[in-house]
């Protein structure tokens, strides 16, 4: 009987699976059709709408999943990693000759969660899209099949990581030369990547103990320490080469030669999640212990940008934005800043329209100018064009460099009070701001800033991407020459009508300082008036909003 079954399996692989998993039923490899209702999606294939040859009506939910179009070089561990975020994987059958596999989850609930997730997000292996659907069978039987030793070893290893039972892991085979510390390089850094974002992503693959971020060779990098080497192994296997945001911010991950990290300060650049008592260090805000403690809970992230984040988060290469809201035990929802998503994405609230033009209304017509709109909106992106409407000077059109920067500016500036008026910022129906024709009367109300040297974000990977904060009464000052004193800066801001409540130079770098004004409206107006102010000695003051207080 055993030989007969093996011969059937061999014949199946040789002649092809004409009806997918149906022939495996006749071979005795899979048992029992599922009897649950088919109210949930039976196929998880992202944007793929083509039916698999041999598919009949959609299969009802089953804990056995059928995976198709697997690249030739993919390993068992990589296939298993698809299911791990959703629960324990109990079996795997690889049909490499047909680029297919059957994955058995421990429970039908876990399989349903996995299929529902991958229904809206096309899964990838080795940068190639794959397709996942319910099998019409309830159980995999692979005990008597040949060449299952490698599969079972991989299954044992990943489930040991998943359950925390490290004693079953063959560390000599799997973890040789690997430590619990990963070195992470973020390439194509066009949008902010913070310590909190890294923690949210990597904590889904094990307990993160420490993170240190830094810039080296003009690249944003991080060292991240897991509690166990297996956690680091699984995170590297799953995340290396993936994009945090669609088409940019690519993760390059390798094992560090370090075995542990020494974190001295808990702040925006470094954090020890096991030591909430560490100081923040000079010039860095202290991490609230209640916030830091919350990092131990799944799916919780502190959003330093204020406002509600939206879904597109961990993006697989060259796909639409990947929304990871509500996935239990998986990647979790990243509370990311509005607009901190690259490429073309499915942003909640604005659909698929990638519009970079904003309509700003309720402006003070006595104060408004293209220049101050350029300065204020330039805090959140590179402003290319500004047009104040000729007959309605309370309204203006602002064209940002891209739709994401427009979304970011809108989320932070809508509702802010400027020169006595509450701004209303929405997306415009216009796709671009037209420049006036030659000879057309304009009164200087339309300006082209596309080549302005004052753009904050024109350099890819600029540190400015990591320092975008909501408007606040505390301003961050930089590019201060050595000869300028505290009194000089206080007098400068008071000359614009502001009341200065506090001031502090950075102890380690007197080129930077914090100044706290009496109100948020004063701070916004001071930023408009004094950003790029000439301080002498070929130094122009740089002003931005700070999330710190004095």
Q: Are 383 and 320 in contact (CB under 8 A)?
A: no
Q: Is residue 320 part of a domain?
A: no
Q: What's the whole-model pTM score?
A: 0.43
Task: Decide if 133 is inside a domain.
Answer: yes
Structural domain span for residue 518: 469-545
In a domain, 108, yes or no: yes
Q: Which CATH number is 244's domain given?
A: 3.30.70.330
Question: Does 260 reside within a domain?
Answer: yes
Q: Check residue 437 and give its pLDDT.
A: 83
Q: Among 89, 118, 141, where does a domain finish?
A: 141
Residue that is last in its domain, among 240, 272, 304: 272
Number of Cβ within 10 Å of residue 147's Cβ equals 8
Is 287 a domain residue? Answer: no
Write the pLDDT tens digit of every residue in 69-108. Answer: 999 888 888 888 888 777 788 999 998 889 999 999 988 8
- Would you say residue 297 lies in a domain? no
pLDDT given at position 540: 95
Query: Strands 243-245 and 270-272: what pairing?
Result: unpaired
Do both 135 and 209 map to the same domain? Answer: no
513 domain-assigned: yes
Q: Of 272, 301, 322, which marks where a domain is finished? A: 272
User: What is the C-alpha separation between 436 and 320, in angstroms, rounded?
Assistant: 36
Residues 362, 430: one domain?
yes
**Is 96 inside a domain boundary?**
yes
Query: Residue 64: exposed, middle, or buried by beta-carbon count in 10 A (0-12, 13-18, 19+)?
Result: buried
Q: Are residues 211 and 268 in the same domain?
A: yes
Q: Are residues 73 and 124 in the same domain?
A: yes
DSSP 8-state code for residue 53: T
Q: What angle do CA 317, 318, 319 make, to 5 degrees?
A: 95
Tell me the pLDDT tens digit for each residue of 417-467: 999 999 999 989 899 999 888 777 778 899 999 999 999 988 766 677 777
| 131: enclosing H helix or E strand | strand 131-134
Do residue 192 and residue 268 come from a single domain? yes
**Which two structure tokens, joined as six digits, stand for 114?**
């996995």
25-51 burial: b if 16+ Cβ within 10 Å, else e: bebebbeeebeeeeebbbbbbbeeeee
On whether the CB atoms of residues 132 and 113 are closer than 8 A, the answer is no
pLDDT digits (tens, 9 = 90+) for 198-245: 988 998 888 888 999 998 887 889 999 988 887 888 888 888 888 887
Same domain, 137 and 192: no
Count up the domains in the chain and report the number.
4
């Amino acid at each position: 009987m055993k030989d007969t079954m093996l011969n059937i399996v061999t014949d199946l692989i040789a002649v092809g699976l004409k009806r997918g998993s149906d022939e495996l039923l006749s071979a005795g490899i899979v048992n029992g059709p599922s009897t649950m209702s088919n109210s949930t999606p039976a196929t998880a294939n992202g944007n793929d709408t083509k039916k698999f040859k041999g598919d009949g009506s959609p299969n009802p939910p089953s804990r056995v999943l059928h995976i198709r179009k697997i690249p030739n070089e993919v390993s068992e561990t990589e296939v298993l990693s698809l299911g791990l975020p959703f629960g324990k994987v109990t079996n795997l059958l690889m049909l490499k000759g047909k680029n297919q596999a059957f994955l058995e989850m421990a429970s039908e609930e876990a399989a349903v969660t996995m299929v529902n997730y991958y229904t809206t997000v096309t899964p990838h292996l080795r940068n190639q899209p794959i397709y996942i659907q319910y099998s019409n069978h309830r159980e995999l039987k692979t005990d008597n099949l040949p060449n299952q030793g490698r599969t079972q070893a991989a299954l044992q290893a990943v489930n040991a990581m998943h359950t925390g039972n490290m004693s079953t892991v063959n560390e000599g085979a799997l973890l040789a030369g690997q430590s619990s510390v990963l070195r992470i390089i973020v390439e194509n850094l066009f949008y902010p990547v913070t310590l909190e974002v890294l923690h949210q992503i990597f904590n889904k693959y094990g307990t993160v103990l420490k993170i240190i971020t830094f810039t080296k060779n003009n690249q944003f990098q991080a060292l991240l320490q897991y509690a166990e080497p297996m956690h680091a192994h699984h995170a590297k296997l799953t995340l290396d080469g993936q994009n945090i945001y669609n088409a940019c911010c690519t993760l390059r991950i390798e094992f560090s030669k370090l075995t542990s990290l020494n974190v001295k300060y808990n702040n925006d650049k470094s954090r020890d999640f096991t030591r909430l008592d560490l100081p923040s260090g000079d010039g860095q805000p202290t991490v609230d212990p209640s916030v830091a403690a919350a990092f131990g809970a799944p799916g919780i992230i502190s959003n330093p940008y204020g406002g509600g984040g939206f879904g597109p988060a961990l993006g697989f290469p060259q796909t639409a934005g990947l929304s990871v809201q509500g996935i239990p035990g998986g990647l979790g929802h990243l509370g990311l800043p509005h607009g901190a998503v690259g490429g073309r994405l499915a942003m909640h609230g604005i659909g698929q329209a990638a519009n970079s033009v904003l309509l700003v209304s309720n402006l003070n017509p006595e104060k408004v100018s293209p220049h101050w709109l350029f300065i204020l909106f330039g805090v959140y992106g590179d402003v290319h064009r500004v047009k104040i409407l000729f007959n309605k000077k309370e309204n203006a059109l602002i064209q940002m460099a891209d739709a994401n920067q427009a979304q970011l500016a809108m989320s932070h500036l809508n509702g802010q009070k400027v020169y006595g008026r509450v701004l209303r910022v929405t997306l415009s129906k216009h796709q671009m701001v037209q420049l006036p024709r030659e000879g057309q009367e304009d009164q200087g109300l339309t300006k082209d800033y596309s080549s302005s040297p004052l753009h904050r974000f024109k350099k890819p990977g600029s540190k400015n991407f990591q320092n975008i904060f909501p408007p606040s009464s505390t301003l961050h000052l930089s590019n201060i020459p050595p000869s300028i004193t505290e009194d000089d800066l206080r007098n400068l801001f008071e000359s614009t009508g502001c009341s200065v409540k506090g001031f502090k130079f950075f102890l380690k770098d007197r080129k930077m300082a914090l100044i706290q004004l009496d109100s948020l409206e004063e701070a916004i107006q001071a930023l408009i008036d004094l950003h790029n102010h000439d301080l002498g000695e070929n130094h122009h003051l740089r002003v931005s909003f700070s999330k710190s207080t004095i």
